[in-house]
Chain A
Amino acid sequence: MKITVNGLRAAFGDHEVVKGIDLAIPSRQITAIIGPSGCGKSTFLRCLNRMHELVPGASRAGQVRLDDTDIYADDVDPVLVRRWVGMVFQKPNPFPSMSIKDNVVAGLRLTHRYDRKDAPGVIERALRQAALWDEVKDKLNEPGTSLSGGQQQRLCIARALAVNPDVILLDEPCSALDPIATARIEELLLEIRRDYTMVIVTHNMGQAQRVAEHTAFFLQGELVEFDTTAALFGQPRDPRTADYIAGRFG
């Protein structure tokens, strides 16, 4: 197990959004988290890389172990956690002040690991993994924002890959994209899954079925069911899961 979550609670001020979750995320696989809006899946995700605490007034309780270390232990540097657990956001957010190639290595620059000699190799490898290399290899110096939405998101994925994290968290990465761009990203996730542990929050059940080996169903801040994707969708054990899958609520 790559990430083990024990009794995780998270709140914004007085409003508790994640109400005690125990979950084990398997290593080098894709785990999907599905559930209706407001069920706490994004907040849960952000607790896995200590981004939740950046919101003023946010609080959290419980344990999250990455390999053997509790990331919330007192002597842990939250910034280091995010070096090992990367994130791709819902809306693509390439840095507008940087070119495409600078965007890719931005993470290395931000963590003092940029090496000018290695850079071209790192850039090409990351862009190939993100299935973007062929489209941008002749315009690496153009601004990152000159790409289409789907390309920008793949650029953000390349950026996350370039720092070589162990885990990649994806928060509804395709919800702002058209179906073709979505398909390309799902394809690349499948290609790279053996190298990274990935957790993907999605409101698209089809996506969960297409890419994830395991799926967790969240409802109102609680974990209702967690199983292999085939089992969760084929024979859900909890009636609430079955209802959600059948589209009786959303």
Chain B
Amino acid sequence: MRRPIDLTATRPGVFAERAFVWLCRLGAAIPLTMLAWLLYRVAAAGVHRLSWSFLTDPPSQLDAGAAGLGPALLGTLWLIVLTATIALPIGIGAAIYLEEYSRRSKLAGVLELAIANLAGVPSIVYGMLGLGLFVHALAMGETVIAGALTLALLILPIIITSSREALRTVKDGLREAALGLGATRWQCTRQVVLPMALPGILTGAILAIARAIGETAPLVVVGAVAFILYGPDGVDAKYTALPMQIFQWTSNPKRAFLDNAAAGILVLMMTLLVINGVAIWLRNRYQARRS
């Protein structure tokens, strides 16, 4: 009735299994190979344009060799500062409200739904919001403050989510201890919870800002200029930004301008690398301190 047991036979499906593992490896390998190829091409095309004057000169529409990123970098800098100033307090405040004051209430459920929705809205739609609301309805015009407000709204859901996670890592026992000693909710939050969650909040904030730096579409819609010779001189100034300048150069079919675009991309990616590196360093230091 029973066949003799042979434990060394080749079971059916072994070859399919091996083929499948290779297929899975490809799934990871193909995108990463494309990434490597992309980085190589960008570096090969653009590295020769990198120089101090490239970083500081104004752009030029005629002479690619003389064109530079000066105003674009200044514009991005203004955007970073303004966006952070607007988005961080509101985002962290919202996170504190949801985690410390209003857990599991019906209002919290509605807010969470809104935040989840906003996280999925395409960035260009945020640009449209900025165009209709900040540029026209509030009559700010196509200025750097309108751009910063738009980017701030774009990264708000990201900041709220990452700040909430950072707040959640603080154990409830600490909150109970503080409240049990007679502290008010705000005292408990400000003096016990926030200091512990701060590194995590900062890490999340830095990563959110990094995301904002690379966004092009909302800035195009909201009126960042394609060609300007100076950086912003006030919040109500016209401006350009790094991704905007790259886009401008990419749209120019001349090879020299495409090389400028590649160089601009290198500057952008290196900036992002530094920012992400700082965020990760912060997170590791924070985790090391906790354990």
Contact = CB atoms under 8 A, between A and B. Distances in A.
Interface residues of B, number: 11
Q: Which of B5, B6, B8, B12 is the most central at the interface, judged by chain A CB atoms within 10 Å of its CB?
A: B5
Interface string A60-90: 0000001101010101110111011000000
B11 A166 contact: no
B12 A112 contact: yes
A83 to B, nearest CB: 8
A69 B5 contact: yes
A111 interface: yes
B11 A66 contact: no
A77 B2 contact: no
Contacts of A111: 11-12
B5 A67 contact: yes
Q: Chain B binding site: helix, strand, loop or mixed by DSSP?
A: loop
A117 B2 CA distance: 21
B7 interface: yes
Contacts of A112: 11-13
Interface string A130-173: 00000000000000000000000000000000001010000000
A69 B7 contact: yes
A84 B5 contact: yes
Interface string A159-195: 0000010100000000000000000000000000000
A111 to B, nearest CB: 7
Nearest to A167: B5
Q: Which of B2, B7, B11 is the most central at the interface, judged by chain A CB atoms within 10 Å of its CB?
A: B7
Interface residues of A, number: 17
A79 B9 CA distance: 11
A164 B2 CA distance: 9
Contacts of B5: 66-67, 69, 84, 166
B7 A77 contact: yes
Contacts of A71: 7
A79 B7 CA distance: 9
A83 B12 CA distance: 12
A66 B7 contact: yes
Contacts of A84: 5, 7
Interface in B21-70: none
A80 B2 contact: no
Contacts of A83: 11
A77 B12 contact: no
A164 B7 CA distance: 15
A77 B13 contact: no
B11 to A, nearest CB: 5
Nearest to A113: B12
A83 B13 CA distance: 14
A166 B7 contact: no
Nearest to B17: A79
Contacts of A76: 7-8
A84 to B, nearest CB: 5
Contacts of A166: 2, 5
A138 B196 CA distance: 58
A79 B6 CA distance: 12
Nearest to B11: A80
Interface of A: 66-67, 69, 71, 73, 75-77, 79-81, 83-84, 111-112, 164, 166
Given A77-B8, A80-B8, A80-B11, 14 more contacts: A66-B7, A67-B4, A69-B7, A69-B8, A73-B7, A75-B8, A76-B7, A80-B6, A80-B9, A83-B11, A111-B11, A112-B11, A164-B2, A166-B5
25 contacts: A66-B5, A67-B4, A69-B5, A69-B7, A69-B8, A71-B7, A75-B8, A76-B7, A76-B8, A77-B7, A77-B8, A77-B9, A77-B10, A77-B11, A80-B6, A80-B7, A80-B8, A80-B9, A80-B11, A81-B7, A83-B11, A84-B5, A111-B11, A166-B2, A166-B5
